[in-house]
Structure 1
């Protein structure tokens, strides 16, 4: 009976998302709604116009599932996250059609992060990998908490947005992240069934999206979808008893890729948030990898890291993150050397 409280939201969200996604694809395919006025994604490799409204199906199926789930009491904090999700949907759809400047997108992201912080979604403490716990108390703790929460949301949101350049990658990574958070939520020391329900609803919505988004994609997540997946992963990490380290490790590949590209852009004097072809998936494409091969590579690596993250302590997570960081830096230089030799 207890398992049903998790299985039901998963199935409801999955089939709702399938219905919404199928409807969007069918409507566009049959010309009932023209996307001729839309735009090509500057980050995605598609050279033809394809519906970017996958985020609409993901977010609506997720919210509807939670709204009608009799086992879930929607707290004020969760209600705030749902409101923020609707705002992400609205702004994301606007960007998918007319394209907002990176400054306006960043401004909205900061406002969203501040909103969830001031409704009470904060870091209560941070575990020291070497032992001990740091609690955020006093005025200094409040300011530090604010800075870290905003930075955390911006980092994860943009990392997931930027990795959405190859069919299936962002959805698959997010699904693994949601499943990991679910396993964390049902652990005795965490014991947060509401968090498990939310994670399973998200898993259902995103898995349905992956079916439509796997190469060759019939629909894209768009700004609303990719930003939402990053935003909600950041939120779940905060809800899950500050399981920042676990989530950061699971998302190590897109996060390290994002940080690497940011430093590259800074070094070359480019704008940090402007789209380019410096990300790992683009470099793998230059090596001749297919979209499916790249997608499966990301899925396999993320799943492997997630299984490790669930079975090691704080120090182990930190050590593994730096190992992955080192391997990725070496990988970047090898790819750069190989692509340069083929030019």
Structure 2
């Protein structure tokens, strides 16, 4: 029941904040202007990620004030706040500020990539690691020392996957809603049982769904880099702290990640190695995400019935 409350509150905060951020962006001229490569008509406000960020952290802070133990990931604390939560806050704030600057005046791609890695290294430095993976021969393999390489690479990949996918109304935010709900479901399962990560993911889902109401075609506001980078960062971290590991997000975002590989191959002139064009990959990814959404809905329904019997 608490999860539903967190979801509804974050949804309402987002619904309230998005119009205010939109009005601010329009007043300050932070807009996406139409051109030959874009299909939207008129100036569309950017900075939608600011509203999502604020809605998310307002609820997280409220939860922490009423019960700090609910967001206890590692047991190690600074100023009564868990190290992992500090990592998520610092990393997501870096992504937000970097995105705002990029939305307003532009940032070189190499500079953005550098800050993506910095956020990744901050996260792993504050204790968010991939501690183990399943061995194909049975049992587990301890790989925590490799986390100092794997976690930043994973964070950078997810940030850029979501950034590249923020090209169609409702696409990046819709993917974010679906992926966060799937990670939430895994977090509350008896196999994972991570209530702290479940709280974060359901609040993220509510914040994104509120924004999505304004981002459907025809969109009245865009995420901007501030939003796409925030979503990518949060999904990357959510997949790790949930205990579901990277395989979770890779399953949900399989085709978007493949699409990112398509872009990388194009940059290096090896596009002929891939048999599918980018348009086909996007179509397949949308079909796949629709399938994942249906499965997630079925699992949520079963979970609701399970809790109803208790």
TM-score by length of 2: 0.82
Cα deviation, 1:229-258, whole Å, max 9, x if unaligned, reads: 011000001101142112111001110100
Query: How far 1:198 moved relative to its partner?
Result: 0.8
Distance, in Å, in 1 between the alignment partners of 2:3 and 2:19 is 24
Distance 1:245 1:41, change over 3 A: farther
Distance, in Å, in 1 between the alignment partners of 2:55 and 2:218 is 23
Distance 1:267 1:243, change over 3 A: same
Q: Which residue of 2 aligns with 1:22?
A: 19
Distance, in Å, in 1 between the alignment partners of 2:294 and 2:246 is 16
Q: Which residue of 2 aligns with 1:134?
A: 141
Q: Which residue of 1 aligns with 2:119?
A: 112
The partner residue of 1:77 within 84, 87, 91 is: 84
Distance, in Å, in 2 between the alignment partners of 1:40 and 1:192 is 43
Question: Is this contact kept in 2: 1:181–1:196, CA < 8 A?
Answer: yes
Query: How far 1:82 moved relative to its partner?
Result: 1.2
Q: Does 1:8 align with 2:5?
A: yes
Question: Is this contact kept in 2: 1:124–1:242, CA < 8 A?
Answer: no
SS in 1 for 2:133: strand
Question: Is this contact kept in 1: 2:25–2:46, CA < 8 A?
Answer: no
Q: Does 1:59 align with 2:53?
A: yes
Distance, in Å, in 2 between the alignment partners of 1:129 and 1:306 is 28
Cα deviation, 1:160-197, whole Å, max 9, x if unaligned, reads: 11010000000111100010011001111211111111
Q: Which residue of 1 aligns with 2:170?
A: 168
Distance, in Å, in 1 between the alignment partners of 2:136 and 2:164 is 29
Structure 1: 5+ residue stretches without partners: 270-277, 285-293, 312-343
Q: Does 1:245 align with 2:247?
A: yes
Structure 2: 5+ residue stretches without partners: 72-80, 299-310
Distance, in Å, in 2 between the alignment partners of 1:41 and 1:161 is 19
Distance, in Å, in 1 between the alignment partners of 2:234 and 2:25 is 28
Distance, in Å, in 2 between the alignment partners of 1:301 and 1:40 is 31
Distance 1:59 1:91, change over 3 A: same
Q: Does 1:301 align with 2:288?
A: yes
Q: Does 1:210 align with 2:217?
A: no
Distance, in Å, in 2 between the alignment partners of 1:190 and 1:162 is 31
The partner residue of 1:199 within 198, 201, 204 is: 201
Distance 1:309 1:217, change over 3 A: closer
Distance 1:27 1:303, change over 3 A: same
SS in 1 for 2:167: coil
Question: Is this contact kept in 2: 1:250–1:309, CA < 8 A?
Answer: no
Q: Which residue of 2 aligns with 1:323?
A: none
Cα deviation, 1:196-254, whole Å, max 9, x if unaligned, reads: 11111101000011111111000000001001101100000110114211211100111
RMSD: 2.8
Cα deviation, 1:111-167, whole Å, max 9, x if unaligned, reads: 110110100111101123453321126xxxx2x322211111111110111010000
Distance 1:191 1:100, change over 3 A: same
Distance 1:181 1:210, change over 3 A: same
Distance 1:90 1:53, change over 3 A: same
SS in 2 for 1:216: coil
Cα deviation, 1:66-114, whole Å, max 9, x if unaligned, reads: 0001243352211221122122111110110000000110011011101
Q: Which residue of 2 aligns with 1:275?
A: none
SS in 2 for 1:267: coil
